Structure 1
Amino acid sequence: MNIHFIAIGGSAMHNLAIALYQKGYQVSGSDDTIHNPSKFRLEKYGLLPKEFGWFPEKIVSDLDAIILGMHAKKDNPELLKAQALGLKIYSYPEFLYEQSKNKTRVVIGGSHGKTTITSMILHVLNYHEKEVDYMVGAQLEGFETMVHLTEENDFIVLEGDEYLSSPIDMRPKFHLYKPNIALLSGIAWDHINVFPTFENYTDQFRIFTNSMVHGGSMIYNEEDVVVKDVVESSENHIKKYTYQTPKHFIENGITYLETAEGNLPLEVFGNHNLQNLAGAKWICQHMGIDEDDFYEAIASFSGASKRLEKIAENNSTVIFKDFAHSPSKVAATTRAVKNQYTNRTVLACLELHTYSSLNAEFLAEYKGALDPADKAVVFYSPDAVKIKQLDAVSADQIAAAFERDDLIIYTNPKEFKDFLYCQNLENTALLLMSSGNYGGLDFEELKTMI
């Protein structure tokens, strides 16, 4: 097949481009800007466009398909040319479904935990040398790409994102996969620019549940009351299996899982990660991995990239970087670190960076999210608010939203960096939560603090 990508440089898009190239397809693409690691990786496979920009002359009638990324706009000149020629235009999830129509589709959904659960499943399958196709939202140790597609593998494991599919397809991505096996980890309001009410957001998970193949299996976290209601109220003819936080204990900073074969030390920690593990176990069992084999493999799982990722540690200090930005993720991650390091000072830093987190009306959702931390800092950039064309938010609004009298707030990247570097981190767990980089914080340099 001859495939052209419009906006090839995105994290998901460039991985799909590489996967199709590895499958033997003829692949081309365009983008107006491409940054590393996408740029380096596309260059490695000879897929980096010779020059940046949009070139309608690349869109010719003998192309078998166009794959359209979210970075493109509706008036993109290449898209307009493709529409004029009547070419088949796919969104990223739409094309993944086309590639997996004859496979057993396993889709992991939820507001939080889906990347980690998908990563756990792939880690276990890889450990036992069970080949599957996959798409996951983070780079995993032992995996070259975030997307892998073949003709021969029976299963495909897909991380099911609820965000929109493309500029011309307003359906959430996970509505397009039609899973045979699915998981829902939790539901907490997010993406308010697209789903303006919690009810509207929750409805997307109802549609996802009802989109499952009849007779399919839904695994769901029964400790999340919204998930429980969504799944149990569904009239779709599917099998329903619950999971919950497994029995465990913490000793000398290590979390142990209680199993029939004895206590199993884990690399990961926190109730949310233990719930993720329980869900991943159910999925793996549906894919032919028995419980003992699952435990053997999961003991070496150290986490997905940027998900409670330990970036530095010595005898008295540990530094974590985490992608958490939504209120439920921030609360779960902060609580997990404090529970794991009860005898240390937990310094939790949160960057408000996404559209939702910088929205004045949404800020109240963060009430109490940083309470488990001994010291709490919020950083946000007024420039980011302007770029997203939102109303300005003040330090007073943020302080009122978190309802924490001793909350420290910074809006200047240099001042935030100076604060960090003057901290005595002896007997401290430093937690840095953001989907950004605090206005240019050098995480490699940060490692030298300890």
Structure 2
Amino acid sequence: MTTPDQAPPRARNAVSRRGFLGAGATAAAAAAVAGCGPGSPSGKTRTTVGAASAPAAQQVAFHGAHQAGIVTPQQQHLRFAAFDLKTENRDELADLLRVWSDTAAGLMAGAARDATGEARELAPARLTLTFGLGPGLFAADRRLGLADRRPAALAAIPSFGADAFDRRRCDGDLGVQICSDDAQVAFHAFHALSNAARGVAEPRWLQAGFLGERPSGTTNRNLLGFKDGTRNLDVRDAGTTGAQLWAAAGDGAPWMAGGTYLVARRVRTVLDVWDATSVAGQEQTIGRRKDTGAPLGGRAEHDAPDFAASGPNGPTIPADAHVRLAAPEHNGGARLLRRGYNYDDGIDADTAQVDAGLFFISFQRDPRRQFVPIQRRLAASDALGQHLIHTASAVFACPPGAAGGGYVGEGLFI
């Protein structure tokens, strides 16, 4: 077998406020019937049951110190939606967030879903809805009166040179990450939120994503065929998550304490070029073995990469390998909680190529100090960059979780 050090050079190829409040009361009543108590996030089996009798293992609690869907074990299916606000009335924005929170609590608890019917008889399948606020809500030229409440960390993500954005897929006033182990349940949640927002906010873009079935405790593989997320932020480490994930009152926006910041990127993979690259070349590009996920020079997936190791052809992990450039050791200790999904949007009519890749999602305490410097480093010299096209980008402030009887984002309006 060819060893990494012997590998050949890699190839370099309209609804009123009263209507909203009424809808919120209806959703809240449904949630009360279903029972919104805490549930285990560990169940994955799709079950067809009466909605109000959904087993606890199928439920994730909506209320809590942090929003669900951030440190929740990752589900198999994603719908990520961005909305544009169509009102300049601050009270209507607050009403919408209240109604959405009530709706989310009911859906996550398995409340009756008879309005549109497509998820009737399906269990919630660990459904989570995570809400975010986009920078546009805080713009000085908006009449919402929120400019002085904008967190400094909610800054627009800069361009990184080779980005090729479709602006129709970027940004948004409101973002919602919807995850479930049942794709139809996830779609239904989007459908319900869209109906609830009619006349006040409208969908801007929608992205579906998926993960493969895998044994518990193993790492997902991306569409490049490599394990993705081996060195992810460990949410079991309270000290690290406190420093790297959760915003604090002292960060300058007290209403965001206990919240986090979401960066989303749609990253298309140039599969024909990647597939034409030898496995050895792919491994040199990534800096890991394709079969085991071990760092080059290591034996097992979770071995710490040895960035000082070298062989006859130079560093064992090349200077432009993805894992080297993205490593916290080379980025001032900065880490991200990555929660991305594969996507497949069919055939691109302009290129006749498959439009597929990674819908990258990361959560962090401050994108200016975490995502942005890491991505700038990658954009400058990452060998993987020749195989990727960044086609969309967005950033959202995800407020802390809601207490019982409250709603996500409530602190913004106090």
Q: Structures share a fold, TM > 0.5?
A: no
Structure richer in strand, relative to its length: 1
> TM-score, normalising length from structure 1?
0.24
> TM-score, normalising length from structure 2?
0.25
Higher relative contact order (CA 8 A, sep 6+): 2
